């Protein structure tokens, strides 16, 4: 007889839910810390050391994005015990990607489709493929997430279909591209569409060839 209080691995459901909530709270805390560090526009040595200590204390989430990528970068910086200017600049760039707070990146005019500049807090700063791949439409599967400057979701889907592409409501191992709209919140993990991105990251970690791209990059091929 099936026990409705256990998951497929025989573990209590409540325990799994609690662990997931704890992980999200930890990521909330990290994003808040990163925003605080960015507030004055200057990265101090003590702030780097503080992040290193925080990562040690929250080791249980070390494999979860963005904790994983930040831990890898901090470990490299702290390896010789010296934080030079190049390392600080590199870390500032990473903090910008985690929080979504930065100016001077791509945007798309929803009327003309032209690339424009200086949109702050766009979702396109987050876990995108680097370098971004060429976008091919014919018989490729697209999963759109977030809100698009290019136009309505219907218009985006129609323009993909005109070029031979196919639309998915959610990503799976067959997905070719996840396209992130530029109007998304910087706190993407806590929005409805953030779950698609999280799942896309998990698929990539398992070897799926899908690409995560920004609306700005996608629009260049329309």
pLDDT in tens, 73-95: 899 888 887 888 888 888 888 88
Is residue 85 exposed (0-12), middle (13-18) or buried (19+ Cβ within 10 Å)? exposed
- Residue 158 reports pLDDT greater than 60: yes
Joined together, the tokens standing for residue 69 give 């990528």
- Residue 28 shares a structural domain with residue 111: no
Domain count, the chain: 2
Distance CA 72, CA 59 (A): 12
Question: C-alpha angle with apex 168: 164 to 174, nearest 5 degrees?
Answer: 85
Domain housing 213: 107-219
Is residue 129 one of the residues assigned to a domain? yes
Is residue 3 one of the residues assigned to a domain? no
pLDDT at position 163, please?
Answer: 96
- Residue 124 shares a structural domain with residue 80: no
- Residue 222 reports pLDDT greater than 50: yes
- Residue 120 shares a structural domain with residue 206: yes
Q: What is the pTM of this model?
A: 0.51
- Residue 196 shares a structural domain with residue 146: yes
- Residue 155 shares a structural domain with residue 210: yes
Sign for the CA dihedral angle at 198, 24, 10, 3 comes to negative
Is residue 5 one of the residues assigned to a domain? no
- Residue 39 reports pLDDT greater than 80: no
Each residue of 178-212: pLDDT tens digit?
Answer: 998 865 444 455 444 467 888 888 899 899 999 99
């Amino acid at each position: 007889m099936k026990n409705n209080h256990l998951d497929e691995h025989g573990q209590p459901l409540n325990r799994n839910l609690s662990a997931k909530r704890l992980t999200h709270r930890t990521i909330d805390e990290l994003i808040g810390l990163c925003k605080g560090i960015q507030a004055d526009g200057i990265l101090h040595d003590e702030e780097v050391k503080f992040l290193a200590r925080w990562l040690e204390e929250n080791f249980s989430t070390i494999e979860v994005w963005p904790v994983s990528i930040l831990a890898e970068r901090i470990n490299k910086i702290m390896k010789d015990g010296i934080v030079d200017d190049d390392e600080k600049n590199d870390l500032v760039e990473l903090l910008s990607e985690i929080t979504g707070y930065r100016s001077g990146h791509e945007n798309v005019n929803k009327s003309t489709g032209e690339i424009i500049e200086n949109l702050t807090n766009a979702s396109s700063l987050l876990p995108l493929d680097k370098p971004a791949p060429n976008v091919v439409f014919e018989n490729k599967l697209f999963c759109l997430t977030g809100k698009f400057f290019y136009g309505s979701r219907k218009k985006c889907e129609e323009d993909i279909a005109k070029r031979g592409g196919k639309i998915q409501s959610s990503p799976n191992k067959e997905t070719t591209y996840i396209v992130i709209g530029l109007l998304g919140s910087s706190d993407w993990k806590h929005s409805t569409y953030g779950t698609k991105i999280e799942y896309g990251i998990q698929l990539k970690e398992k070897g799926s060839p899908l690409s995560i791209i920004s609306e700005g990059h996608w629009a260049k091929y329309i």
